[in-house]
Chain A
Amino acid sequence: MTATTSRPSPEELAAVARRARWRIIETVTSSKAGHIGGPLSATDLLVALYFAELDIDPADPKKTDRDRFILSKGHSAIGLYSVLALRGYFPEEELATFDHGDSRLQGHPDMLLTPGVDASTGSLGQGLAFGAGIALGAKKLGRDFHTWVMVGDGEIEEGMVWETVLSAPRFGLDNLTLIIDLNGLQQYGWPAGPDDRFDRSEPVGHVDLERVFTGFGWNALSIDGHDFDAILGAFDRVTDDRGVSGRPTVIIANTRKGRGISFTEGTYKWHNGVATDEQLDLARTELLGTTEDAR
């Protein structure tokens, strides 16, 4: 998307993100299955993509030259579904069927079932190659859309990610952007400090990602993944580079696992989980400023 004038303001995006976060914790709690921490760390990035960047049409989910988005960290499906629902791909009420039998909203994204889902994911590490294939195909066909892939920082431990990181510059894929949701925690990880809330260490804390990606021939940007001005600024730089450098871009987004809800933020223990009634009330107040049922 090039027209930045019609973009919602950061305040408007923040309001959408609060509602999406509420839907995430509410849905996982009522379905008693699903992930919390990863979806919440990615929410602002997803909202910025779907409400301010991607050239898409919820009324025509398969529009030929739509921008593509691949949620490679497929366990964050409920984060994607919440944003897709708010963007108009399907009714918000349908979120209540998440992880139920016969539902279009599977535990992991399913491109055969859910309107707006471009890629099936769930086994970590495979989305970037999928995206590189789309980006390569677009170049070959002379199509002018952009492909975005989001991975988790734990996920990039998978070797397959690095096979694509190595090869993508060779194909000149400046129509491909990777977003790393760098929240510093994975599911279990490695022991770290004595503080119970922060007692696991960063998956890739020992890696200088900017240097690594630059070394592999990518453009690399580091941003605060919860600051909408920074996120939109990074998206603009990607747009400006299209057709210029011939390099794919990585946006290293510094985020917080479980972002936006006091008791889930910053702990690996809410990688997945189900909130108690009291916790759900607290989350509702923190996100929506009300204890009224938000339905």
Chain B
Amino acid sequence: MKAQRVVWGETLAELAASDDRVVVLDGDLATSTRSDLVATAVPDAFVQVGIAEQNMVGMAVGLSTLGYRPWLSTFGVFLTNRALDQIRMLVSQTRAPVRVAAAYSGLLNGSAGKTHQDIEDFAIMRAMPYMTVLAPADEFEAEAVFRWAAEFDGPLYVRVARDPVAPVFDESYAFEPGTPRLLTEGGDVTIVSTGVQTSRTAEAVRLLAERGVSATHVHLPTLKPLDVDAFLGLVGDASLVVTVEEHSRIGGLGGLVSEILAERGGPRLVRVGLEDRWSESAPNDFLLDKYGLSPERVADAVAQQLAAV
């Protein structure tokens, strides 16, 4: 198992070596985000901007007007929240080909606590016009997404998780932007997940199968733009849809799916995600369990909802 952040460093170093439009801007977190792999391999493609995220966004946009394809790399929260106005005005409104790579995204941030948890990013970035929003599930999808994004000609946001997760895909994986991925098929419930929470959700689906519950599991690597017809095709005539995400229950994947289902007059929907409160600093297992995102807690939540139907 390889962490997405390591895949990030390795892939970007490789891309930078062969394409001199690639430039990675760092907010003094390269040893955490693993942009240091770019700094060591291709020093010319690495720009240390310092602890100055707003400055970093501005510089990236300036570089992009000269033909560069800049990547912003720091903790997600310092991009989506700290430099939000800069991303809004300078990246989204200019449609600059700037790639916002949100490291340490979600809840799991190496015990840094609530200040560093990026759990509103989907809600924020999804509402941002022209912004493509991506959340790969594992190391294989992450690499495919980074390679695809390198050629993309517009603003783009991608989550990069800190710690490794059990792979969902393998080397043969091919990324299709906007397309939902069907992981398992079953008749009792349709579960929709995104990002690395898909790995934990796949485990929840196995736990449910042991309890005699068969689930259709759909993974959305692209939250925006989404092929809505393909998504509805996978939802089919399910009577219960459950969304699962390492994000606030408000405005993220659950928000997206409820918007779609409400417009089409869809089935009952349950959103599993973080409650409307801040969390805390603690090891991963503790956080996942306490805040309801461990495979066991997800399986319990789904089983409970099925019993309530």
Contacts and interface: CB of A to CB of B under 8 A. Distances in A.
Nearest to B54: A159
A186 B74 CA distance: 15
A252 B116 CA distance: 28
A8 B190 CA distance: 67
6 contacts: A33-B281, A34-B111, A74-B115, A99-B113, A103-B282, A159-B52
Contact of B111 (A31, A74, A125): A31
Interface of B: 26, 28-32, 36, 39, 43, 48, 50-52, 54-55, 77-78, 81-82, 110-116, 280-283, 286-287, 290
A123 B111 contact: no
Interface string A69-92: 000001000000000000000000
Given A33-B112, A103-B280, A187-B31, 16 more contacts: A99-B113, A99-B282, A100-B286, A101-B283, A102-B282, A106-B113, A107-B112, A107-B115, A108-B113, A108-B281, A122-B113, A154-B28, A157-B28, A158-B52, A187-B28, A187-B29
Nearest to A75: B112
Contacts of A102: 280, 282
Nearest to B49: A157
Contact of A188 (B28, B113, B280): B28
Contacts of A33: 110-112, 281, 283
Given A99-B282, A100-B282, A106-B281, A122 B50 contact: no
A124 interface: yes
Contacts of B114: 106, 108, 110
B115 A190 contact: no
The A interface is mostly helix, strand or loop, or mixed, namely loop
Given A123-B78, A124-B51, A154-B50, A186 B282 contact: no
Nearest to B115: A122
Given A99-B281, A106-B280, A123 B28 contact: no
Contacts of A122: 112-113, 115-116
B23 to A, nearest CB: 16
A32 B54 CA distance: 31
A189 interface: yes
A189 B55 CA distance: 15
Nearest to A105: B281
B280 A101 contact: yes
A65 to B, nearest CB: 29
A155 interface: yes
Contact of A155 (B51, B77, B82, B115): B51
A41 to B, nearest CB: 16
Contacts of B55: 157, 159
Nearest to B81: A123
A108 B75 CA distance: 15
A188 B26 contact: yes
A37 interface: no
Contacts of B112: 33, 107-108, 122
B26 to A, nearest CB: 7
Nearest to A153: B51
A203 interface: yes
A124 B39 CA distance: 23
Contacts of A124: 51
B280 A108 contact: no
Nearest to B31: A188
B36 A188 contact: yes
A187 B281 contact: no
B245 to A, nearest CB: 21
